[in-house]
Structure 1
Amino acid sequence: MSVPAHPRVTDVIETPVAAPARPRHRADIEGLRAVAAVLIAVYHIWFGTVSGGVDVFLLLTGFLITGSLVRAMERDGRIAFGAFWTKLVKRLFPAGAVVLGAVLVMTYLFFPRSQWMTVIDDVRAAVLYYGNWHLAAGSVDYMADNSAASAAQHFWSLAVQGQFYLLWPVLITLAGLVAVRLGVRVRRVAFAAVGIVFVVSLAYSLWITAVEPVWAYFDTGARLWELALGGMLALVVHRVDLPGTLRMIAGWLGLAGLVSCGLVIGDSLPYPGFASLWPTVAALLVILAGAGEAANGRFSANRLLGVRPLTWLGGHAYTLFLWHWPVLIVYLELTERVRPSLTGGLMVLASSFAAALFTTRVIEGSVNRVTKRHRAPSWSLAAGVIFIVPVLAAGSLWAHSIDQDRRLRLELSSNPLAYPGAAVHLNPELAAGLPDLPIHPDTTTVARETIDQTRSCNAVVEDTEVVSCEFGDPGSDYTIAMVGSSHVRHWFQAMRTLADQHGWRLVTMTKNACQFSSEEQVYRGEVYTECTAWNADVMLELAELTPDAVFTLASLTDRKEDEHVPTGFVDRWRLLDGMGVDVIAIRDTPRFDFPVPECIDRNGRDECSSPKAESMAEVPPFKDLPNVPHNTRFLDLTDSLCEDGVCHGVIGNQLVYYDTDHLSYAFSRSLAVVMEPQLLEAVGQAVPKGEPTLVDAAMTLHESAHS
């Protein structure tokens, strides 16, 4: 007697009622896809702002997928998960992989080394459909200048859709199980389930957009309501049949609202949040206007959307979206522009159309021909994987090559005579005989390596409490606390080297974009309340720690205003004076108007300098500052960064900055030898007789090398 196989969940769902008739083909929806794709491209190319097109794509994805899944449940009593996902793989992976492969090639050919690892990481995240979380974690501002954007950055929205494709079949299946249990229609339970997702996600989107808009932009949870709204619409649209006049008004109002979305919203409102209701409601009106038996009247917007050119373009909307962004970014890189001219933008648009047409016809067409002959799901899966694997492999091999080069430079840099950094100023003979070697750190990895040195010991923008770490001798009788913004943080390697050398205890308390000051500060145009709270917490921490000295900034440099000493700085010094804590205030560093690593990659090390006067005062602004508390001592290492009024991007074969104004970890460490005399004088400590200093060790090494 044979035992029946254990039934799967998806096999036991029965349809409570007869399945509805298959919905009629909506040509206007293809046209709506075309409009959304063109709007995305146009607003990205010429305006650099939100267009609302991505929101329309998300809503349409929810509309089409939800309708398809629910009809499958009503028709078959189950969802064929394997067939569903493999069809998506066949539809999405080949074209996406071709574009991502092209991004890797274009990055190698046209972009500076300093951007290579960023693109490799973005491509890997895009291939594996977690690109939105990758960008959110990196706090990438999507509304920033395109010139600073990755050519694969736009794949974030496809990652959101990919995560939706994994979640939605499970949700609809569970809705079907509940429907069977309750004896009601699948469609009704599915609508309730999707409605719950809509309400929860929208509420979360409004909250997270107000609290952390950059994160919210990429957050799947903050976007899921747009897909759910499309899903709810799919489940009720067959019942909608608006009166003729109302249908006409809804269609044109929706289309006009969609086209004008980018002009009205632009960058003025946090996104998504309330602002994203504009394009989604506009698209909803268009879809409702096209529903019913009497839809697409002679002068309706839906009839316009259903014309042959727009429906043809709608068939290429996906590949146009894929190509427009990398083509734009390459154009901006080659022309060194922030925004294309009218002619340049038209060239970008035309090139994107040509690439999209080629990808659709040749790549997708070939895949479709193969899978039509071989209909098994495994062939659809293979068709996608065959394209994805080479892209992943190419990215991994390239990353490995970059790492090998980084290791070589690191090995070479272990010779202090070949890579002295700031110590080159100690001996003119050393500067004159400096060998011509690749700079260290590598421009490709310097930013990540520098930030990683203290990533876990630093408060990020949204933090209000102190994040601190301790280094050096925990039992030392002398403690220095490093307190302030990233311009305090980038002295960490120098200070740690000196703390280890002299047996001090070093405690770090730093926060992004937040000065150690009593004044209210501004971040990205808004009052930086997190910084105010952090400053208050710092004072409590210092009162408990009672360090011997606090190392912080003495001045602020800026290319838009003169170097100055904020009043809030002096207020903090006075408070510390009352606590019996010394202040070691170091002059701020120069600021360039270009990323130094990128400049070196493009123009060579000798062409990447900046006049000191563009960001720094001729005389330190604290030199004649009145009413300086008696506990405060000043350090000024500008002479180790600038020579004869010019600040250099490479000194002693070391890369000085990892961006426009932050010291690289290696050069910061090299500054310890020139900081040591000033710091020892500031803390009032004499080196015990016979104990070598860093300066002594460096001079001995230089003399032995030249003897």
Structure 2
Amino acid sequence: MRERNRSGSPADHSISFRQKEFVIISVASPQQYRHDLDGLRGLAIALVVVFHIWFRRVSGGVDIFLVLSGFFFTGLLLRRNDSTGAVGVLPTLRRTLRRLLPSMLIVLVAVAVATVLISPYTRWNDVADQSLASLFYYQNWQLALSWSDYLAADPSVSPLQHLWSMAVQGQFYLAAVVFIAALAWGCRRIGKPALLRPATLIMAIVLGTMSFGYAAHGAITQQGWNYYDSFARAWELLAGMALAVIAPRLTPSRISRLVLAVLGVAGVLACGWLFNGANVFPGPAALFPVATAAALIISGTGLPTAALPWPNRLLATRPMVELGALAYPLYLWHWPMLIFFLIEFEQRTVNFSQGIVIIGLSLILAWMTHHGIEEPVRAAFRRESGSAPRTYRWIARAGVALASVLVIAAASVWHVIVDSQPTAPAAALDPVLYPGAEALSAGIAAPPATMRPTVFEAPSELPPPTLQGCISDWNTSTVVTCVYGDQESDRTLAVVGSSHAEHWLPALDLLATENHFRIVVHLKMGCPLTVEADPMYRGESNPDCVNWSREVINLLGEERPDWVFTTGTRPVDEGGDETPADYLDVWNELTARGLDVIVIRDTPWLRHNGIRYRAVDCLSKGGDRLGCGMRRTDALNPVNPAIEASATYPNVYPIDLTDAVCEPEICPVVEGNVLIYHDEHHLTATYSRTLAPALGRQLAPILGWW
């Protein structure tokens, strides 16, 4: 089917209503079909793929897609209302799902199969959750709750993580069609249907301004959440909505068009190099990719392809248009291909030749999906003369329904299997059968017994603050305070910092109850105390940490606990551990407030070739307690780095429980029949409790409380 402009003459190329980027529907301007915007999609998706695979960054291509989505979808709704007198909520939603779901379902089924074949069964539950989240378009909220770093591709990352943007768009489509349908109905009710476009523009500007302000605030206070937040992303889509109303009425001069086109293409190419998007988008920095998309939309408005500025004509060439036609399936395929490659070959990154292979395979799968799934399904649903018989439409419907049922059923069945397993180990285990850390620190022999917690119990093996909401999460800088131990005691130990200070709390709580002192906790996920301007977590900026740390340091100065307990080292991905200079800056701050500090050496983080891995994953694949562990020399330096670092601080006391976690040569994942780690680097609550005697022996001479 050849696209036609308003006058009814054929468009310049034979391009059907096939896939249009992330979005479903490509829409011509009222006068002319925009092949250059197809090419813009092709360029943007190429940059998304390249930056994901080789540079571990985001390119701004997703932000450009969001603008185009708002532009195309709104234009479609407005023109449909003009031609039929109604937006057609249900027909539009049906058509949208017909265009989006077939390719999505194929990828979800493929990912499920690959997960079963390649990933340990302890990972299947996460993929099942994310498959459902992707299918029902709430994947962005699923990721926001865990603050998944979008650009950090490694074997531990979900192969479906990239589908957050599809969820944002799906939510927008639903909201936009209802919103514009309501506006159209209201305009008809007052007898002024021509007001629909002005009303749409006004509401897009008002709501977009509110969303932009919300995103700007979130970029400062909760960027981890902000990146995935539909309300923070809305302004980018609403910018496209506003352009759908404004752009067709603009008549820029020839020079203005050329300037806009050159700047737009240059901006698209430069965005990924100028901005580390995962740390700043969709805050004010996202104005850059949004502006580049707007510039290219405006530069070609109302012109036939032959009259476009030369940058637009380059985008309208056949290779770019064809790449744009593959943009949606290419986006769907490239990320899982990358992640499964890293899993299979146990790599953290890919080299140039490996990246070429991944891109080539992704392009082949995208081409097959487009021509073998998308186009046949769409043809089966067309109702124009010469379209496929009704039987084909029923076959297409049945295929989509069957794939949906398979995804839902597989995810649900695995949940039933997992939920049937015990997930909460007993509060107290027999110390004879389960000596845990005492097998190392006190030489207590452990008789043969089933490991506890099991691989299914491990995820629930969390310390009390996490279970009770007494730790600030990724998305807030608010200080949360709770009290443990002997709450009536006048002797106070303040446990502060990240989850690596928190996971000692089960041991400390036993000691506090037994020896009558209280524990006050000030904790935040991923945030050891810091005074750095731009603290990092897993190599990425953690802006929420700064204000939280400053408030905690000042709060400690006011509360004046007898002792402060926090971590004194951290691991280095290349091997060993260190006491960062920032820790010394924090010690200076605490010293200036007259506080005594106990700094404990951090436990080993499970890593292989710099890649973190979970103990339960390794064990579920048949590994044993030693084989799944690390060599002690790889995990830690021979001497606790905090000893030398604290030598000039008379109020800072380093302690080290490595010998209660590691054997002389190996740091295992199970000791004394107790699983040590519930993930890559956090102690299980059960193992932490078995550390109480060893921890007490080191704390006693320092605290002098027993």
Q: TM-score, normalised by structure 1?
A: 0.81
Amino acid across the alignment from 2:470: C
Deviation at 1:204, TM superposition (A): 2.7
Answer with 222-231 or 561-570: which moved more.
561-570
Pairing 1:662-701 to 2, within 5 Å after superposition? 662-679=682-699, 684=704
1:508 counterpart SS class: strand
Written as runs of structure 1 = structure 2, the 5 A alignment for 1:293-692 is: 293-297=303-307, 300-372=310-382, 373-374=389-390, 384-405=400-421, 407=423, 410=425, 414=429, 416-425=431-440, 428=443, 430-431=445-446, 433-435=447-449, 437=450, 440-442=453-455, 446=458, 449-450=461-462, 454-455=466-467, 456-460=469-473, 463-472=476-485, 474=487, 480-500=493-513, 505-515=518-528, 523-524=535-536, 528-540=546-558, 542-543=559-560, 549-550=562-563, 552-553=565-566, 555-559=568-572, 562-563=578-579, 566=584, 568-569=586-587, 572=590, 586-594=600-608, 595-597=612-614, 600-601=618-619, 604-607=624-627, 608-611=629-632, 615-616=636-637, 618=639, 621-622=642-643, 625=647, 628=650, 636-644=656-664, 646-679=666-699, 684=704
1:208 corresponds to: 218
Equivalent-residue separation in structure 1 for 2:451 and 2:236 (angstroms): 50
The separation in 2 between residues aligned to 1:192 and 1:60, in whole angstroms, is 19
Deviations 1:457-487 (A, max 9, x none): 1124565553122345555676654344323
2:551 partner letter: A
Matched to 1:535, the amino acid is: I
Q: Which one has a larger percent helix, Structure 1 or Structure 2?
A: 1
Q: CA RMSD in A?
A: 3.8
CA contact (8 A) 2:67 2:238 kept: yes
Q: Structure 2 CA distance, aligned partners of 1:32 and 1:258? A: 9
Q: TM-score, normalised by structure 2?
A: 0.81
Q: Which amino acid aligns with 2:458?
A: V
Contact 2:473 2:524 in 1 (8 A): yes
Change (3 A) 1:340 1:676: closer
Residue 699 of structure 1 aligns with which residue? Answer: none
Question: Would the aligned equivalents of 1:242 and 1:292 in 2 still touch at CA under 8 Å?
Answer: no
Secondary structure of 1:459's partner?
coil
Given residue 395 of structure 1, which amino acid in structure 2 is its aligned partner? A
Written as runs of structure 1 = structure 2, the 5 A alignment for 1:61-76 is 61-76=69-84
Contact residue 290 and residue 296 of structure 1 kept, 8 A: no
Kindly tell me: are residues 414 and 268 of structure 1, through their superposed partners in 2, closer, same or farther at Cα, counting changes over 3 Å?
A: closer
Deviation at 1:552, TM superposition (A): 0.8
Contact 1:33 1:57 in 2 (8 A): yes
Higher mean alpha-carbon deviation, 206-215 vs 149-158, is at 206-215
Unaligned 5+ segments in structure 1 are: 1-19, 687-707
CA distance, structure 2, for counterparts of residue 555 and residue 538 of structure 1? 17
* C-alpha contact (below 8 Å) 2:486/2:518 kept by paired residues: yes
Change (3 A) 1:661 1:245: same
Q: Counterpart of 1:256 in 2: which secondary structure?
A: helix
Tell me the SS of whatever aligns to 1:430: coil
Conservation of the 8 A alpha-carbon contact between 2:71 and 2:237: yes
Answer yes or no: is the 8 Å Cα contact 1:497–1:672 preserved in 2: yes
Deviation at 1:107, TM superposition (A): 2.1
Q: 1:617 to 1:75 in 2, by over 3 A?
A: same
What CA distance in whole angstroms lies between the structure 1 residues aligned with 2:648 and 2:351? 51
Contact map agreement 1:28 1:311 (CA 8 A) in 2: yes
Find the partner of 1:175 among 158, 172, 183. Answer: 183
> 2: distance between equivalents of 1:156 and 1:169?
20
Q: What residue in structure 2 maps to residue 704 of structure 1?
A: none
Q: Which has the larger radius of gyration?
A: 1
Alignment-mate amino acid for residue 422 of structure 1 = A
Deviations 1:425-457 (CA, angstroms, capped at 9, x unpaired): 3665724x445x456342x67356426762501
> 2:247 & 2:588 partners in 1: Cα distance?
65
Does 1:236 pair with 2:254?
no
CA distance in 1, matches of 2:267, 2:555: 47
> How far off its partner does 1:669 sit?
1.8
TM-superposed deviation, 1:112: 4.0
1:47 alignment counterpart: 55
What letter is aligned with 1:615? L
- CA offsets per residue over residues 517-536 of structure 1, 9 Å max, x none? 8x668612678232011221
Return the offset for 1:133.
1.7
Counterpart of 1:272? 282
Aligned twin of 2:38: 30
Give the superposition deviation at 1:587: 4.5
Question: Which residue in 1 is equivalent to 2:209?
Answer: 199
C-alpha contact 1:570 1:628 (8 A) present in aligned 2: no
1:347-406 deviation digits (Å, cap 9, x = unpaired):
111111222222223333453354344499999887654432321221222233334455
Q: Find the counterpart in structure 2 of residue 58 from structure 1.
A: 66
Counterpart secondary structure, 1:157: helix
Inter-partner Cα distance in structure 1 for 2:636 and 2:589: 24
In the TM superposition, residue 496 of structure 1 has moved relative to its aligned partner by 2.6
- Decide whether the 8 Å contact of 1:472 with 1:500 is kept in 2: yes
1:28-77 Cα deviation digits (max 9, x unpaired): 33222222222211221222222222122211211111111112222333
Shift of 1:646: 4.3
Alignment-mate amino acid for residue 294 of structure 2: L
Cα deviation for residue 87 of structure 1 reads: 1.5
Preserved contact between residue 601 and residue 640 of structure 2 (Cα < 8 Å):
no
CA 1:600 to 1:439, structure 2 compared with 1: closer, same or farther past 3 Å?
A: farther
Alpha-carbon distance between aligned partners in 2 of 1:262 and 1:515, rounded to the nearest angstrom = 30
1:133·1:219 contact (CA, 8 Å) conserved in 2?
yes
Q: 1:413 to 1:476 in 2, by over 3 A?
A: closer
SS in 2 for 1:642: coil
Structure-1 residue corresponding to 2:200: 190
Residue identity matched to 1:154: H
Q: Distance in 1 between matches of 2:263 and 2:478?
A: 48
Give the match's secondary structure for 2:683.
Answer: coil
SS of the aligned residue for 1:488 comes to helix
Relative to structure 1, the CA distance from residue 275 to residue 566 in structure 2 (aligned partners, 3 Å threshold; closer, same or farther) is: closer
User: Are the structure 2 counterparts of residues 282 and 521 from structure 1 closer, same or farther at C-alpha, using a change threshold of 3 Å?
Assistant: closer
Structure 1 232/600 Cα, relative in aligned 2: closer, same or farther at 3 Å? same
Task: Report the CA distance shift for 1:501/1:388 in structure 2 as closer, same or farther (over 3 A).
Answer: farther
Conserved? CA contact 2:565–2:597, under 8 Å: yes
Q: Equivalents in 2 of 1:521, 1:241: separation in Å?
A: 46
Distance 2:420 2:564 in 1: 37
Aligned to 1:84: 92
Stretch moving more, 648-657 or 498-507: 498-507
Decide whether aligned partners of structure 1 residues 188 and 650 sit closer, same or farther in structure 2, where only a CA change above 3 A counts. same
Moved more, 188-197 or 504-513: 504-513
Deviation, 1:637, is 2.7
Alpha-carbon distance in 2 for matches of 1:600, 1:21: 55
Question: In structure 1, how many angstroms separate the alpha carbons of the residues matched to 2:59 and 2:295?
Answer: 17
